[in-house]
């Protein structure tokens, strides 16, 4: 169980204007500016839950993860994870958590992955029999067999990420913090990482807190989202409810034969390169309809008054649209 209550974190950042004179001045008299990274945040996450922690750049996501992992101490507020305060009982706490930062590595760069794993095993004091069992499970699920003897620096990003996730799970933590785990990965590797995380949660009941800008990660993995903006928790809710409540956008995919139809108010063409399509002929368009301005049926009849519609499909808004709507609504 993760319980965060009224956590606030402020950083002092040195302020300096550009230019040599200013640099000299700031050397003698340093000015500081306060950045409030987290402002009285509270939430609770139950055992076995998978939660998406989303928000724009600089919102405070990484600061939260650092506090939850015990790397950072808040100025105010409290946090209890499985009954422990992370920054006060770090040694015991880290046995319960695994952390993957997509942009940083926990593997030793020049040594084979297996050697890094052995070192991690020593750090966490994992028993030999448990380690062997875990290693073979992770090797199979993450498809590591062919890369365990390769140094981290020789691996592709996707291969390295699978090894990073493996490294974070060698001590069988109950909670996994994932900070941008699919950043920079190709579509196949993203899917592999996502399905592994789903399986991990299903088999072991691991609690997962996922920080990402990739809404497909959120869609694939989580049912609940926490939205953070300017250091405050703005929304904590069920993903589907949020989608229904906040999005009035429908996506039409239209296959037409005839004139390229014109858009009207409430309709926005999203097909890339549509402008280059010939004015008459066959084509496929994707169009966003804002149902607050125009009903889907009105949009369809508007389109069919201009061209022959061969096929049409209507889908709900993508999660990216929902998130853009949320950021707009909360002015973050
Ligand atoms: N060590 C630090 N020193 C000074 N300021 C910091 C430090 N760490 C974070 N900040 C500031 O705190 C705020 C929140 O940063 P944080 O990294 O938590 O955001 P984030 O939501 O993870 O952003 P991103 O999506 O870009 O990774 C930002 O304004 C950032 O500049």
89-127 pLDDT, tens per residue? 999 999 999 999 878 888 999 999 999 999 999 999 999
pLDDT of residue 99: 94
Using alpha carbons only, give the angle 219, 220, 222 rounded to the nearest 5 degrees.
70
pLDDT band at 276 (very low <50, low <70, confident <90, very high): very low
Q: Is the pTM of this model over 0.90?
A: no
Q: Is the CB of 35 under 6 A from ligand 1?
A: yes
Domain boundary among 243, 278, 295: 243
Q: Whose CA is nearest to atom 26 of ligand 1?
A: 57
Give the pLDDT of residue 327: 82
201 in the same domain as 87: yes
47-84 pLDDT tens trace? 999 999 999 999 999 999 999 999 999 999 999 999 99
Ligand 1 atom closest to Cα of 64? 18
Pocket flag, ligand 1, residue 85 (CB < 6 Å): no
Asked whether the ipTM of the predicted complex exceeds the cut of 0.90, the reply is: yes
Distance between CA 196 and CA 188 in Å, rounded?
Answer: 12
Task: Give the end of a domain, one of 211, 243, 275.
Answer: 243
When pLDDT is cut at 50, 70 and 90, the band that residue 226 belongs to is: very high
CATH code assigned at 291:
3.30.70
- Laid out side by side, the sheet with 76-81 consists of 31-45, 2-15, 76-81
53, 96: one domain: yes
Separation of alpha carbons 299 and 267, rounded Å = 7
Residues 6 or more apart whose Cβ sits within 8 Å of residue 204: 172
Residue 275: pLDDT over 50? no
| Atom number of ligand 1 nearest to Cα 66 | 18
61 alpha carbon to ligand 1 midpoint, in Å? Answer: 8
Q: Are residues 43 and 158 in the same domain?
A: yes
Our count of domains for the chain comes to 2
Choosing from 198, 217, 243, the residue where a domain stops is: 243
- Looking at the structure, do residues 230 and 293 belong to the same domain, yes or no? no
Same domain, 156 and 293: no
Contacts of 316 (CB under 8 A, 6+ apart): 243, 247, 249, 250, 251
One domain for residues 89 and 131: yes
SS3 277: coil
- How confident is the model over 21-30, as pLDDT tens digits? 777 776 677 7
**44, pLDDT greater than 70:** yes
How close is the Cα of 180 to the center of ligand 1, in Å?
14
What spacing in Å lies between the alpha carbon of 37 and ligand 1's midpoint? 6
DSSP one-letter code for 57? T
In this structure, are 229 and 286 located in the same domain? no
Residue 153, pLDDT > 90, answer yes
Domain holding 86: CATH number? 3.40.50.300
The pLDDT tens digits of the residues spanning 165-220 come to: 999 999 999 999 999 888 888 888 899 899 999 999 999 999 999 998 888 899 89
Q: Are residues 278 and 180 in the same domain?
A: no
Atom of ligand 1 lying closest to residue 62 CA? 22
With beta carbons less than 8 A apart as the criterion, state whether 17 and 63 touch.
no
Is the backbone of residue 285 left (phi > 0), alpha (psi -120 to 50) or beta?
beta
What distance in Å separates the CA atoms of residue 82 and residue 92, rounded to the nearest whole number? 11
Residues 223 and 313 in one domain: no
CA gap 283, 256 in Å, rounded? 6
Regarding whether 254 and 153 lie in a shared domain, the answer is no
Per-residue pLDDT, 31: 79
Quote the pLDDT of residue 279: 60
Candidates 326, 332, 184, 311; CA nearest to 242 is 326
Give the Å distance between the CA of 200 and the centre of ligand 1: 29
For residue 70 and ligand 1, the question of a CB distance below 6 A is answered with no
* Judgement on whether residues 239 and 267 belong to the same structural domain of the protein: no
Residue 162: in which H helix or E strand, if any? helix 157-169
User: What is the extent of the structural domain holding 278?
Assistant: 248-330
Q: Quick one: 147 and 65 in the same domain?
A: yes
Question: Residue 1 pLDDT > 70, yes or no?
Answer: yes
């Amino acid at each position: 169980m993760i319980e965060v209550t009224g956590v606030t974190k402020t950083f002092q950042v040195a302020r300096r204007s550009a230019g040599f004179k200013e640099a000299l001045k700031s050397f003698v008299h340093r000015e500081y500016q306060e950045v409030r990274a987290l402002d009285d945040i509270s939430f609770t996450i139950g055992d076995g839950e998978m939660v998406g922690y989303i928000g724009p750049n600089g919102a405070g996501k990484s600061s939260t993860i650092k506090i939850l992992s015990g790397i950072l101490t808040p100025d105010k507020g409290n946090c209890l994870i499985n009954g422990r305060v992370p920054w006060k009982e770090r040694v015991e706490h880290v046995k319960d958590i695994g952390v993957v930062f997509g942009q940083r590595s926990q593997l030793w760069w020049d040594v084979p992955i297996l050697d890094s794993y052995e070192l991690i095993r020593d750090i966490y004091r994992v028993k030999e029999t448990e380690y062997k069992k875990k290693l073979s499970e992770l090797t199979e699920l993450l498809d590591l067999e062919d890369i365990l003897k390769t140094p981290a620096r020789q691996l592709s990003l996707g291969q390295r990420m699978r090894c990073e996730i493996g490294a974070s799970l060698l001590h069988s933590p109950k909670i996994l913090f994932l900070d941008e785990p699919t950043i920079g990965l190709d579509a196949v590797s993203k899917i592999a990482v996502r399905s592994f995380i789903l399986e991990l949660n299903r088999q072991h009941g691991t609690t997962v807190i996922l920080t990402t800008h990739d809404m497909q990660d959120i869609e694939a993995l989580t049912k609940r989202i926490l939205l953070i903006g300017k250091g405050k928790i703005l929304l904590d809710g069920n993903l589907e409810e949020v989608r229904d409540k906040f999005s009035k956008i429908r996506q039409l995919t239209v296959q037409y034969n005839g004139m390229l139809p014109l858009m009207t108010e409430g309709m926005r063409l999203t097909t890339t390169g549509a402008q280059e399509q010939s004015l008459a002929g066959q084509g496929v368009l994707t169009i966003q309809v804002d149902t607050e301005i125009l009903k889907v049926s009105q949009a369809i009849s508007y389109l069919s008054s201009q061209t022959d519609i061969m096929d049409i499909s209507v889908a709900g808004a993508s999660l990216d649209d929902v998130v853009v709507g949320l950021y707009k609504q909360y002015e973050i």
